[in-house]
Structure 1
Amino acid sequence: MPGLPLIIDCDPGVDDTVALLLALAAPERLDVLAITTVAGNVGGDLTARNACLVREIAGRPDIPVHAGEARPLVRAPVAADHFHGPTGLGDLPVGQPLRGPEEEGAVDFLVRTLRARPAGEVTLAVTGPMTNLARALQTAPDIGPRIGRVVAMGGARREGGNITASAEYNIHADPHAADIVARSGVDLVLMGLDVTHQVTATEARRARIAGITNTPAKVASQLMAFSARTEVELGTGGPPPLHDPCVILWLLAPHLFTLRDCHLAIETESPLTLGHTAVEFRLGEQRAANARWATGADSDGAFDLICDLLGRGA
């Protein structure tokens, strides 16, 4: 039986890369139709190149890569290369991929694919700013009801922000895009900092991954080590959270996570709280649920699954 038809929309990025390696290791569960990329953690030219490199590392050169939007819908670009390194891939040696992205851009690919596939068949995993998806919804509003589900990494409630006091990076980088998606009526699941901060690459967990000898696991181990050093220098000082991999882990093992229905609204006006996610669990006629918000994770179970998936690599 074929896996879940999936498009991964991302901005690789250290943790996006780990998420891609996990997704591409499970073809029997996830039928990855394409990787679409967007400017975010680093510029759009680099995120597209990085996605092409990651598919080679994963031994999946069959997966097409479509480069997407080079800047947010409204605001000025906000990079996060201080957390991901100037190439976006930490301290990995970086060359040119054997094959570059397709000629068709990400937005056109999304519109064409969602129109061609049966309604509700395709799931989108979004681990970067939501610019590509928002632009596709603006271009072709008819695709909204055709999307099976959007599972995205973004937002913060209990934990506060990681780019400003109240805003998480992916939402802050393009709040207007996130607002369009939240208002679109798509089936939306959000893995925000409230849950990703529970799935941390502790020293013991990194040692388990370092003990796996194939190339994808070695790359993931090196990226997690880079994130651990960066977290000490620029972050909380604790073990690094695995933000984007939570999206893939939920798709593969939803029992590892706890979700709550919520009304989600995105702040797009205030300079002080731009990109803040207002997550309201008190629902009623005036505040209907438009998303599901992850509140808890079985972190040990998550890392057991990560080790299993990385252990399959070539």
Structure 2
Amino acid sequence: MVRAEVRALWHSVAMVKILLDCDPGLDDALAILLAHGDPNIELVAVTCVGGNVALANTTRNALQLGEYLGFENIPIAAGAGEPLVRAAEHASHVHGTEGMGSVSLPDPSTAAADIHAVDLIIETLRSQPGTVHLVATGPLTNIALALQKEPAIVEWAASFVIMGGSFTRGNTTPAAEFNIYADPEAAAVTFAAGWDVVMVGLDLTLQAIATPEVVDRMRLLGRLGDELVVPLSTFWNDDKNPEWNGQAVHDVVAVAYVTHPEFFSSRPAHVEVETAGEFTSGMTVVDFRADSHNATVPTRLDVDAFWEYVFESYARIQLP
């Protein structure tokens, strides 16, 4: 897809509302940037969960980003800090001790909203049924708790997209992707809830790589590129690996799906989450042959169109 076609698609997209449940996190931060920069997205709320780093850090990171970007009237709420039944797993070895790699933003001057993230999810979807797209880019603990408290969110959400799982591989273990591995019981609740889960997994997101050529374009974004986009997109690397060619921007892809599903080739599937396997806990078992489906699984990304869209969005961001 050429650049002119991407711009034409941009202008044909209707405004969509997104509630982003996340655990910032390098790629979560980049996903927040995309939701903020795309003029066709109204980011109605950000809810935080413990995942890449502890809940206190993910919430602080979201508040820092909100102030850096000049959020107005977008509530940011803290949610679950621990998985449903097991000990917390974090990925600070990937995202840095505080979750934002080498990025250092000023301490936030405001606190998180005086409402639990689970209640904010329920109340936001209840108040605007059928109009808010729910996107989850961290462990699914908040989503599972919301489902247990109010199962009707399945009907109220305009769509439900996650970054998590895979149909061929893992990154935390050979079988399991981190977001699912961190709370497989919550993921099992979520996939069994009766809605269509758009599972943007590793097989898809590993096609969205910030290669050296992509990073060169990021440097043209000026202050935003220098202070945020480039360091977030290049913090985790492996110079000792001769096959290394860049860093994946996993969570950005989940946000992109909401406004531009045409960038993706997808297949219906039935997904079950392994919770008990000694070697497979957190694995998403994806059956593309099943007669009944509970998921849509993107398998291929139009990489050029995706990056054109991301850069168009980031270039529109005006910092306060």
TM-score range, shorter chain: over 0.9
Measure, in 1, the Cα distance between the counterparts of 2:225 and 2:66.
10
Amino acid in structure 1 at the alignment position of 2:46: I
Q: Residue 9 in 1 paired to residue 13 in 2?
A: no
> Against the structure 1 CA distance between its residues 85 and 234, is the aligned structure 2 distance closer, same or farther, given a 3 Å change threshold?
farther
CA contact (8 A) 1:217 1:311 kept: no
Measure, in 2, the Cα distance between the counterparts of 1:9 and 1:236.
33
1:98-117 to 2 correspondence within 5 Å? 98-117=109-128
Q: Cα offset for 1:168?
A: 0.3
Q: Residue 210 in 1 paired to residue 222 in 2?
A: no
> Against the structure 1 CA distance between its residues 235 and 122, is the aligned structure 2 distance closer, same or farther, given a 3 Å change threshold?
farther
Amino acid in structure 1 at the alignment position of 2:127: A
Q: Cα offset for 1:22?
A: 0.6
Gaps of 5+ in 2: 1-12
Amino acid in structure 2 at the alignment position of 1:198: Q
CA contact (8 A) 2:218 2:225 kept: no
Q: Cα offset for 1:3?
A: 2.4
Amino acid in structure 1 at the alignment position of 2:55: G
Select 1:201's aligned residue among 207, 210, 216: 210
Measure, in 2, the Cα distance between the counterparts of 1:113 and 1:308.
29
Measure, in 2, the Cα distance between the counterparts of 1:249 and 1:2.
14
Select 1:312's aligned residue among 299, 309, 316: 316
1:253 match: 260
2:113 aligned counterpart, secondary structure:
coil
Q: After the TM superposition, which of the residue ranges 176-185 and 141-150 deviates more from structure 2?
A: 141-150
CA contact (8 A) 1:11 1:39 kept: yes
Q: Residue 176 in 1 paired to residue 180 in 2?
A: no
1:1-314 to 2 correspondence within 5 Å? 3-26=15-38, 28-118=39-129, 120-158=130-168, 160-215=169-224, 218-227=227-236, 229=237, 231-232=238-239, 237-284=244-291, 288-314=292-318
Q: Cα offset for 1:62?
A: 2.9
Measure, in 1, the Cα distance between the counterparts of 2:28 and 2:242.
18
Q: After the TM superposition, which of the residue ranges 149-158 and 160-169 deviates more from structure 2?
A: 149-158
Q: Cα offset for 1:58?
A: 2.1
> Against the structure 1 CA distance between its residues 232 and 290, is the aligned structure 2 distance closer, same or farther, given a 3 Å change threshold?
farther
Measure, in 1, the Cα distance between the counterparts of 2:171 and 2:245.
14
Measure, in 1, the Cα distance between the counterparts of 2:92 and 2:301.
28
Measure, in 1, the Cα distance between the counterparts of 2:265 and 2:100.
30
> Against the structure 1 CA distance between its residues 115 and 216, is the aligned structure 2 distance closer, same or farther, given a 3 Å change threshold?
farther
CA contact (8 A) 1:66 1:105 kept: yes
> Against the structure 1 CA distance between its residues 223 and 23, is the aligned structure 2 distance closer, same or farther, given a 3 Å change threshold?
same
> Against the structure 1 CA distance between its residues 271 and 232, is the aligned structure 2 distance closer, same or farther, given a 3 Å change threshold?
farther
Amino acid in structure 1 at the alignment position of 2:24: P
CA contact (8 A) 1:217 1:313 kept: no
Measure, in 1, the Cα distance between the counterparts of 2:166 and 2:245.
18
Q: How many residues align?
A: 306
Amino acid in structure 1 at the alignment position of 2:308: D
Measure, in 1, the Cα distance between the counterparts of 2:155 and 2:27.
30
Q: After the TM superposition, which of the residue ranges 211-220 and 45-54 deviates more from structure 2?
A: 211-220
1:35 aligned counterpart, secondary structure:
strand
Gaps of 5+ in 1: none
Q: Cα offset for 1:223?
A: 1.0
Identity of aligned residues (%): 36
CA contact (8 A) 1:148 1:187 kept: no
2:248 aligned counterpart, secondary structure:
coil
Q: C-alpha offsets along residues 107-136 of structure 1, whole Å, 9 cap, x if unaligned?
A: 111122222222x22210100001101001
CA contact (8 A) 1:167 1:273 kept: yes
CA RMSD of aligned residues (A): 1.8
TM-score by length of 2: 0.91
